Amino acid sequence: MSAVQSKLLIDPSTHEAAAKLIESKGKQTIEVYDRWLLQGLSVNGIAVPGGFINGKHYIYPTDNPEWFAKAFTEEFFRHGLMQKGYYWVKEEDYTGPEGEIQKALKYVLEALNHK
């Protein structure tokens, strides 16, 4: 029996959780918390390459949850959100917006001290 694992997608501007990736029994699902992100995905979907899912060129939040999770992580995150600074953190390691800001400041200060 495999344990349920989850990661949070962190918005770099607010340091709040924008989405949650849940992995259980070899399957993935995504819960989108950010209303603007969800609205955009609901209207536009995620463009996927040919052969991604038979006959589908766009995947929407209302489609099969596993398809949506795969499209979100392999296409939307990799080719869009990551370039905007979004990042994943294990749910148990998330310390809330204030904690994430403190981690970022500590990282920057450490980097500056090593120059």
Q: CA-to-CA distance for 27 and 4, rounded, in angstroms?
A: 10
pLDDT bracket for residue 1 (50, 70, 90): very low
Q: Which pair of tokens denotes residue 46?
A: 């995620």
At 21-62, the pLDDT tens digits run 999 998 999 999 999 999 999 999 999 998 888 788 999 999
Per-residue model confidence (pLDDT) at position 2: 57
pLDDT (mean) for 68-83 = 94
Buried b (16+ CB within 10 A) or exposed e, 21-42: bbeeeeebbbbbebeebeeebe
Q: CA-to-CA distance for 72 and 86, rounded, in angstroms?
A: 13
What's the mean pLDDT when you consider all of the chain?
Answer: 89
